[in-house]
C-alpha cells in the first residue's frame, strides 16, 4: 500500500493482536444522535409525574391543574414554559381551561352538604351540590350523568364545565369521586384515560407499533428529533414520525403513499392485464373477443391496443387520434420500473441476511475475533446501504414523476434527476461489490483471508461515504429546495436506527454512550 495513501484504517497487517479503533472502518462524522428512552408500564407513571412536578413548580398550581394545562399543550413542558413567558399565567390558564379557585371557594372543591337550593340543570331542589373551581355549582346527580356520558364517549381527558359558555375544565378529583360512587369500573376507565393521555396526546412519546403489542413506549427529548428512526427493546424498528418501518431517505408522506400503492398493486395489476379504461367515461372494459375494436356502453368506440378513442375509423393498420405519448401509461411504466427495482433490492437484502448464519458457521474455523468483527460489520453496512438504495427508488418516483415533480422547473428537474441517478448508480455498483466480497470468503480458500478482509473494510468505507453523500444531496438539493417548502427526513446513520434505553435505568453519561454505540 502506498505510504501516502494510508486511508482511514492504518495498521500492521501481520499483527492480529493489534485492535482497530471502534468501528474504525466506518467512521461517520460526529453528529448529534437522538436521545431515545423506552417507557414501560411501570415507569410510565414516573415519567408522567416528572412532567407534572415541573409544571406544578413552574405555575405554582396543584396536580390536577397542572395536568389540565399539560393535556391542552399535548404534554409539552417547553410549550407551557414558552406560553407563560410570552402571554403570562392568566392568559395561559384561560387558553388551557384552568380555573384557579379563590380562597373562599377552596374548601368547596369536593361534594359537600349545603342548604337546599335548586340545581341550574334539573331545577329540582337538591341538598348535595358541588361547585367547580370556576364557581359554577350543580347537583351531584346532574354532574355524575354528565361525566358518565363524556367518559363513555371517550371525551374524558378534557371535560368542560356544564355551565353555558364556560371553558373551564372540571377537576379530575371531583370527577373521580362522583363517578366512583356510582360505577367503580367507569371511574377506573376515566383514570386509565388520564394515565394514557401522556402517550396518546404527547408528540414526544409513541407506543411501539409491534404486533402483538410489546407494551413499551418510546420517548424522545428534543423536538428536532421528531423525524428519526428508532429501535425498541423488543427489536421492532420504526420511524418515530409515522410509525411505519424505517424508510429514509423517503419522507413519511412518500412512504405512506408507497405503502398504499403496494396494497393496491395486486388489484391494479389484474385490471391492467385484463381491462382497459374507456377514454371517454373511464369505466373498465374487459375484452371477451378477438377484435381489438371495443364498444363501450357509453357509446364510444376505442382501440383495445392503445385505449384511445378511434371514432368511426377502424382498420388493421391505423388508429385515428392515437398519440404515441400517453402520460398515464408513461407514469405507470415508471412506477413499475421503480417498484421492480425496489423489490429487487429488498429480495437481495433477504438473501444477504442469511449470510449471518453462514458467517458464524465458517468463522468457527478461524482464529481471532477480529476477523469475525470485520465481516459482521461489513454485513451490517451492506444491509444499511441495500435498504437505503431500495428506498431511493421510491423517492425517485414521487420526486421526479409523481407528486413532487411540479415543485421544480423542467430544467431543475432534469439536472437534479441526472445528478441523483448518477449517485444512485455509483451506490448500486459499490453495494453489489460489497455483496460479492462478503460472499467470496465462503467460495475460495481461507488460507489467506486478510486480503479479502481489507477489501471489505475499504468497500464498507466507500459505501458508507456514498450513502452519506447521496443523503446530503437528497436532503439539501431535492427536499430542501421545493417551492412549497423543505421536507424533513430521518437522519442517515450508518449504525442503523437509534436503540432506546430504559427510562431511569442508566445515568445521563451511560445513556449518551449507549446511543452513540447503537
Give the catalytic positions in this structure: 291
Answer whether 7's CB lies under 8 Å from 461's CB: yes
Distance between CA 160 and CA 138 in Å, rounded? 13
Place of cell 423543505: 486
| Grid coordinates of 224 | 428536532
Quick one: which H or E segment has residue 130? strand 125-131
- What are the residues whose beta carbons fall under 8 Å from the beta carbon of 390, sequence distance 6 or more? 341, 342, 344, 345, 346, 349
How far lies 77's CA from each of 65, 99, 227, in Å?
Answer: 14, 19, 19
Answer whether 239's CB lies under 8 Å from 245's CB: yes
Question: What does DSSP say about strands 501-502 and 36-39: parallel, antiparallel, or unpaired?
Answer: parallel
- What are the residues whose beta carbons fall under 8 Å from the beta carbon of 264, sequence distance 6 or more? none
Place of cell 428508532: 230
Three-state DSSP class for residue 498:
strand
Using alpha carbons only, give the angle 372, 373, 378 rounded to the nearest 5 degrees.
100
C-beta neighbour count of 124 within 10 angstroms: 10
Secondary structure tally for the chain: helices H, strands E? 14, 14
How far lies 33's CA from each of 76, 106, 107, 492, in Å?
Answer: 21, 47, 50, 10
DSSP annotation of 411:
H
Distance between CA 55 and CA 357 in Å, rounded? 52
| Grid coordinates of 88 | 403570562
Peptide bond before residue 194 is cis, with ω within 30 degrees of 0: no
Answer whether 453's CB lies under 8 Å from 374's CB: yes
Answer whether 388's CB lies under 8 Å from 467's CB: yes
Amino acid at each position: 500500500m502506498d505510504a501516502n495513501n494510508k486511508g482511514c484504517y492504518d495498521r500492521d497487517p501481520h499483527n492480529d493482536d493489534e485492535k482497530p479503533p471502534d468501528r474504525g472502518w466506518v467512521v461517520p462524522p460526529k453528529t448529534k444522535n437522538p436521545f431515545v428512552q423506552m417507557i414501560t408500564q411501570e415507569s410510565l407513571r414516573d415519567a408522567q409525574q416528572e412532567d407534572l412536578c415541573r409544571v406544578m413548580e413552574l405555575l405554582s398550581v396543584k396536580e390536577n391543574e397542572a395536568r389540565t394545562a399539560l393535556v391542552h399543550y399535548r404534554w409539552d413542558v417547553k410549550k407551557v414554559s414558552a406560553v407563560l413567558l410570552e402571554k403570562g399565567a392568566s392568559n395561559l390558564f384561560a387558553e388551557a381551561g384552568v380555573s384557579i379557585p379563590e380562597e373562599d371557594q377552596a374548601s368547596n372543591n369536593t361534594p359537600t352538604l349545603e342548604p337546599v337550593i335548586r340545581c341550574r340543570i334539573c331545577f329540582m331542589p337538591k341538598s348535595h351540590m358541588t361547585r367547580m373551581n370556576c364557581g359554577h355549582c350543580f347537583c351531584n346527580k346532574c354532574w355524575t350523568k354528565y361525566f358518565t356520558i363524556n367518559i363513555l364517549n371517550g371525551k374524558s381527558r378534557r371535560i368542560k364545565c356544564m355551565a353555558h359558555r364556560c371553558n373551564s375544565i372540571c377537576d379530575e378529583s371531583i370527577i373521580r369521586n362522583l363517578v366512583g360512587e356510582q360505577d367503580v369500573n367507569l371511574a377506573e376507565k376515566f383514570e386509565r384515560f388520564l394515565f394514557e393521555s401522556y402517550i396518546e396526546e404527547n408528540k414526544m412519546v409513541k407506543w411501539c407499533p409491534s404486533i402483538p403489542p410489546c407494551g413499551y413506549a418510546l420517548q424522545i427529548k428534543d423536538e428536532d428529533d421528531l423525524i428519526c428512526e428508532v429501535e425498541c427493546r423488543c427489536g421492532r424498528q420504526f420511524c418515530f414520525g409515522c410509525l411505519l418501518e424505517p424508510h429514509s431517505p423517503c419522507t413519511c408522506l412518500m412512504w405512506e403513499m408507497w405503502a398504499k400503492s403496494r396494497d393496491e398493486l395486486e388489484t391494479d395489476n389484474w385490471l391492467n392485464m385484463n381491462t382497459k379504461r374507456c377514454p371517454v367515461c373511464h369505466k373498465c372494459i374487459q375484452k371477451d373477443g378477438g377484435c381489438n375494436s371495443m364498444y363501450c356502453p357509453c357509446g364510444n368506440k376505442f382501440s383495445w391496443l392503445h385505449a384511445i378513442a378511434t371514432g368511426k375509423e377502424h382498420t388493421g393498420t391505423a388508429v385515428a387520434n392515437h398519440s404515441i405519448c400517453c402520460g398515464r401509461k408513461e407514469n405507470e411504466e415508471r412506477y413499475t420500473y421503480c417498484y421492480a427495482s425496489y423489490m429487487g433490492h429488498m429480495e437481495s437484502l433477504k438473501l444477504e441476511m442469511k449470510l449471518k448464519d453462514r458467517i458464524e458457521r465458517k468463522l468457527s474455523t478461524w482464529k481471532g475475533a477480529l476477523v469475525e468483527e470485520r465481516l459482521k460489520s461489513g454485513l451490517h453496512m451492506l444491509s444499511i446501504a441495500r435498504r437505503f438504495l431500495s428506498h431511493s427508488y421510491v423517492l425517485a418516483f414521487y420526486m421526479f414523476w409523481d407528486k413532487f415533480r411540479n415543485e421544480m422547473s423542467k430544467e431543475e428537474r432534469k439536472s437534479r434527476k441526472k445528478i441523483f441517478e448518477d449517485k444512485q448508480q455509483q451506490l448500486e455498483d459499490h453495494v453489489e461489490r460489497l455483496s460479492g466480497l462478503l460472499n467470496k470468503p465462503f467460495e475460495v480458500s481461507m488460507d489467506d483471508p486478510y486480503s479479502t478482509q481489507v477489501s471489505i473494510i475499504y468497500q464498507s468505507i466507500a459505501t458508507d461515504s456514498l450513502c452519506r453523500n447521496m443523503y446530503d444531496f437528497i436532503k439539501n438539493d431535492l427536499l430542501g429546495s421545493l417551492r412549497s417548502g423543505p421536507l424533513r427526513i430521518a437522519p442517515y446513520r450508518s449504525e442503523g436506527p437509534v436503540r432506546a434505553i430504559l427510562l431511569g435505568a442508566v445515568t445521563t453519561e451511560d445513556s449518551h454512550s449507549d446511543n452513540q454505540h447503537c
